[in-house]
Amino acid sequence: MTDHETLRILPLTKAAFAAYGDVIEADPATMRLINNGTTERYHGLASPVVVGPAERLIFNIFRGQPRSFPHEVGMMERHPFGSQSFMPLSGRPFLVGVSDDEDGRPGRPKVFLAQPHQGVNYFANTWHHPLMALGEISDFLVVDRDNTAANLEEFFFDKPYRITEPSL
Ligand SMILES: NC(=O)N[C@@H](O)C(=O)O
Ligand code: NI
């Protein structure tokens, strides 16, 4: 990959990700004790939505192959009719790529390193890169809108970007 621009990898924080979606993590500010004090409920961390023609919100498991590096970021995608969340099930970190919308196309991607205890919920119509698992095959609990065939818009960059191996 000669002239690909390398994208920095940023820590995933609620503030940095706020324009793109929710960070799903045990935020103490959301905690309430339930079940007679035997359970900590971290309440309302994200709101999965379907937009437009009513379709089911469904739970899925995505089993992601680890990405090899340097990884070429040649495209971004978005789901106009629903949110999409990824919560790690395998105790591994993963990469999250998002872009602002610039007149209907994704701008320069931002890449975040999600820790094993962090998930994300992309807002509907947020440009994002498909799942980027790290190091080993990793499972993720994914909540999104059924009938994904009608809910996928892709954009391919003329000049792809590059991500180098994150130091974990
Ligand atoms: N296509 C699909 O179900 N997966 C993507 O939406 C993704 O964000 O990984
Ligand atoms: Ni997606």
**CATH code, domain with 118:** 2.60.120.480
CA distances from 112 to 9, 42, 115 (A): 5, 23, 10
For residue 168, being part of any structural domain is answered with no
Can you read off the two tokens belonging to residue 12?
A: 């995933």
For residue 119, being part of any structural domain is answered with yes
For residue 121, being part of any structural domain is answered with yes
* Structure ipTM: 0.93
What pTM value is reported for the model?
0.95
Give residue 144 CA to ligand 1 midpoint distance, Å: 9
Can you read off the two tokens belonging to residue 103?
A: 């007149």
Q: How many Cβ atoms sit within 10 Å of the Cβ of residue 33?
A: 10
Asked if residues 74 and 7 have their Cβ atoms less than 8 Å apart, the reply is: no
Give the single-character DSSP code of 69. S
Residue 54: predicted pLDDT: 77
The number of domains in the chain is 1
Q: Which domain holds residue 10?
A: 5-163
Give residue 149 CA to ligand 2 midpoint distance, Å: 11
**Pocket, ligand 1, Cβ cutoff 6 A:** 77, 84, 128, 130-131, 148, 152
pLDDT (tens digit, 9 = 90+) per residue, 120-139?
999 999 999 999 999 999 99
Asked if residues 24 and 87 have their Cβ atoms less than 8 Å apart, the reply is: yes
pLDDT (tens digit, 9 = 90+) per residue, 68-125?
999 999 999 999 999 999 999 999 999 999 999 999 999 999 999 999 999 999 999 9
pLDDT (tens digit, 9 = 90+) per residue, 18-42?
999 999 999 999 999 999 999 999 9
CA distances from 14 to 10, 20, 60, 164 (A): 12, 10, 24, 24
Show Cβ contacts of residue 135 under 8 Å, excluding neighbours closer than 6 positions. 66, 92, 93, 168
Nearest CA to ligand 1 atom 7: 130
H/E element, 15:
helix 14-17
For residue 76, being part of any structural domain is answered with yes
